[in-house]
A and B are shown apart, each in its own frame.
Chain A
Amino acid sequence: AQSVAQPEDQVNVAEGNPLTVKCTYSVSGNPYLFWYVQYPNRGLQFLLKYITGDNLVKGSYGFEAEFNKSQTSFHLKKPSALVSDSALYFCAVRDRSGAKYVFFGTGTRLTVIA
């Protein structure tokens, strides 16, 4: 079985400050991990993914995420938040030895305050 937890429904951060959106996962095997972003009235857009190799992955719009196997986490980060980063963020996991669909978390709404 696979699952994803995004413990924060809402994250507020001041523009220019670093941001973190938390994600933990549970899979029976090894994971593929993804972050997607949903801007208002727009579809989900892929941000970044962890497949293998370097635990720190970099994605679109200056976002990055760190895979931590011991903590089963894949937190999304950005060094300096922009107002335009305000959106709904989804963490997702796929078990390499399990189902072929991606399992999504419930989402975290990020608000960047000017």
Chain B
Amino acid sequence: GAGVSQSPSNKVTEKGKDVELRCDPISGHTALYWYRQSLGQGLEFLIYFQGNSAPDKSGLPSDRFSAERTGGSVSTLTIQRTQQEDSAVYLCASSPDSTMNTEAFFGQGTRLTVV
């Protein structure tokens, strides 16, 4: 596709439910990132995938959060037993390779509201 695509754009869920957020990176991009944007908190790094390497999960806030990247393309971020503090905009980004000087291309984000 032309850009990074995320779905759904908005998600309202009840506290305690599980949610899955999807990211389709730009075709051919080997690096994929998940960030979380909370009001007044900037962008918080969650997880990074690069090709077939083991992902960098150092930013995941708890064991309720997990992410997969199948076939080096589509990624799914799963939040189990959602809590109200999980409410935020979840942003996915991709970049062409692991070269550290390349900029990332961001999707529009998924706004998650836990009620």
**B interface residues (Cβ-Cβ under 8 A, vs A):** 4, 31, 33, 35, 40-43, 45, 48, 50, 56, 58-59, 91, 93, 98, 100-101, 103-109
Contact = CB atoms under 8 A, between A and B. Distances in A.
A94 B107 contact: no
Contacts, number: 54
Contact of A43 (B31, B40, B98, B107): B107
B56 A43 contact: no
Contact of B109 (A9, A43, A51, A104): A43
A38 B99 CA distance: 24
Contacts of B42: 90, 104-107
Contact of A32 (B35, B100, B105, B107): B100
Given A106-B40, A107-B42, A101 B56 contact: yes
A99 to B, nearest CB: 7
A22 interface: no
A49 B104 contact: no
Given A43-B91, A101-B45, A94 B106 contact: no
Contacts of A99: 56, 58
B50 A49 contact: no
B98 to A, nearest CB: 6
